[in-house]
Amino acid sequence: MTNGETSNGLLQWMPEEPIHEEQPEALYALLEERIRRYTMGDSTSVSMDTARRLLESILYCLELNRRYPAPDVTRESPLKERWEAGVHQAKRVCARAKFLLKQAQRTPPPLVNMAYCDTLEVLPAFFQGYDVDFFAQEIPCSFDYPLCQPVSESLLGAQYILDYLRRLLTESALLRAFSQESLRALYERYYIDYIDLLVNLSLPVAEMATLCALADRPVRELVLSQTELANISAGLTRAGEQEARAAIERAADHALEELHLSGASFVKLMHGTAADLLTRMRAPFDATRLETPVAVIKQEH
């Protein structure tokens, strides 16, 4: 790739409204330096796709430093110093994610789901293949287990893996608050085959725990009669929208208290599922609609 191609490609790849107010000449120079490092000094010519990936990594690290600035690097510091600070931040994020993976491997949910197990087996490949110096924005592995609330698509590289593992650990901790027997009975009503299907294990648990709290029934049992479900639906439908939302969020909070779980991540998980649950429960009652989110997960993944 010639210098002219580098410049033209850089202009083409830059977003219409870039988050980095950088001088193009400085970006050209840093990109050409990274190309020389990538080719070990043999050439300044690489494919357009490789140059694009190298540029994306530069912009990603600059953005990391902008969001989480190093104490000794200011916005007025030279471009290369700010990029290097971003690389160091990406390495720190990667180290934290690796620590969380070890936690996830030590604390699996009470019941086996093949997609969950396969994901834990595959994720170490990320840390083996992650090239923070050249391609910090990339995720060099693929995994299938769907989270109850997915990671934002705006996150890249180690940031994505870190947030995925944080959410996975929260979901696993929620599941470990219940017995195998209560979980198995619930999954058999929701999924039939919870072992081999590509389904999320936490969604039905979070929903039923909230419903049990709303019905003033033991949360850990994860079971309600059709009459109790119908009564909940009728009560939420009669209430105003704000009143119903407040009621179901209080129930989610009560469920967490009964399970002795606390923290912002658990509240976010329970309130998020409660909001989706509320929409369905305020519709004309049909017990089968409790399975709707499950069907969506199966189709999307």
Burial level of 113, CB count in 10 A (0-12/13-18/19+)?
buried
The stretch 81-106 carries a mean pLDDT of 97
Report the amino acid identity of residue 174: L
Question: Which residues fall within 8 angstroms of residue 67, CB to CB, at 6 or more apart?
Answer: none
CA 219 to CA 206: how far, in whole Å?
A: 10
> How far is Cα 232 from Cα 60, in angstroms, rounded to an integer?
47
> With 80 as the cut, is the pLDDT of residue 43 above it?
no
- Alpha-carbon span 17 to 165, nearest angstrom: 31
pLDDT at 115: 96
The per-residue pLDDT of the chain, averaged, comes to 88
- Give the pLDDT score at 25: 86
- For range 77-95, the mean pLDDT: 96
Mean of pLDDT values over 62-79: 91
**Nearest-CA neighbor of 84 among 34, 146, 138?**
34
- Under the banding of pLDDT at 50, 70 and 90, the label for residue 6 is very low
- Provide the residue ranges of all domains of the chain, joining segments of one domain with +: 3-73, 89-175, 180-300
Average pLDDT over residues 57-66: 95
In the prediction, which pLDDT does 283 show? 74
How far apart are alpha carbons 149 and 203 in whole angstroms?
Answer: 9
- Of residues 208, 243, 242, 244, the one with CA closest to residue 228: 208
The pTM for the full model equals 0.87
Taking residues 265-284, what's their average pLDDT?
Answer: 91
Compute the average pLDDT of residues 151-176.
97
pLDDT, position 281: 87
Cβ-count burial of 272 within 10 angstroms (0-12 exposed, 13-18 middle, 19+ buried)? Answer: middle
More confident residue, 179 or 16: 179
Degrees to nearest 5, angle at CA 149 with 272 and 244: 15
Average the pLDDT over 251-272 and give the result. 97
On whether the CB atoms of residues 153 and 115 are closer than 8 A, the answer is no
Asked whether the predicted pLDDT for residue 167 surpasses 80, the reply is: yes
For residue 284, what pLDDT is reported? 63
Digit-coded pLDDT (tens) for 220-231: 999 999 999 999
CA–CA distance, 251 with 233 (Å, rounded to integer): 14
Residues of the chain with pLDDT > 70: what percent? Answer: 86
On the question of pLDDT at 192 being above 80, the answer is: yes
Distances (CA, A) of 211 to 127, 253, 256, 290: 40, 11, 12, 11
pLDDT cut 90: percent of the chain above it = 76
3-class SS letters over 21-64: CCCHHHHHHHHHHHHHHHCCCCCCCCCHHHHHHHHHHHHHHHHH
* pLDDT over 50 at 62, yes or no: yes
What's residue 76's pLDDT? 86
